[in-house]
Amino acid sequence: MLVPEDLKYAETHEWLRVDTDNVGTVGITEHAQAELTDIVYVELPQVGTKVTAKQATAVVESVKAASDIYSPVSGEITEANAELESNPALVNTEPYGKGWLFKIRLQDKGELSNLKDAAAYRAQIGDE
């Protein structure tokens, strides 16, 4: 299973890529999308929404179930991936690329230390 080395991971299977000094992109891992199977709808957060780490921020619906997606860090939503409205399957086909969910301006970069690196996430999902 693909677990990119340059990302940070939440225990709840979200990933975070810090793009600039204080803005990061968030999505769900390949492991999470595989567990959910075919994603048919994504409910994204509104730009400008302020969230805290571990707060339910988006919803992904698959043919099996709806799942909350949690923000890995606290901050303000700066962008939501509008492409997912017409093509939610991108979360399945490109979870680390075009299937990203939202971008967030980090409130406290110190929260990054609460996230896992790739090795720790692989250990969590039993993919060592």
Q: What CATH number does the domain containing 57 carry?
A: 2.40.50.100
User: What is the extent of the structural domain holding 101?
Assistant: 8-108
Residue at 120 is within a domain: no
128 pLDDT band, cuts 50/70/90, is low
Residue 121 included in any domain: no
Q: What is the pLDDT of residues 22-63, one digit of tens each?
A: 999 999 999 999 999 999 999 999 999 999 999 999 999 999
13 in a structural domain: yes
Q: Is residue 88 part of a domain?
A: yes
- Which pLDDT tens digit goes with each residue over 1-19? 789 999 999 999 999 999 9
Question: Could you report the per-residue pLDDT of 60-91, keeping only the tens digit for each?
Answer: 999 989 999 999 999 999 999 999 999 999 99
In terms of pTM, does the model score above 0.85? yes
> DSSP for the chain?
----TT-EE-TTSEEEEE-SSSEEEEEE-HHHHHHH-SEEEEEPPPTT-EE-TT-EEEEEEESS-EEEEE-SS-EEEEEE-THHHH-TTHHHH-TTTTT--EEEEES-GGGGGGSB-HHHHHHHHT--
Number of domains in the chain: 1
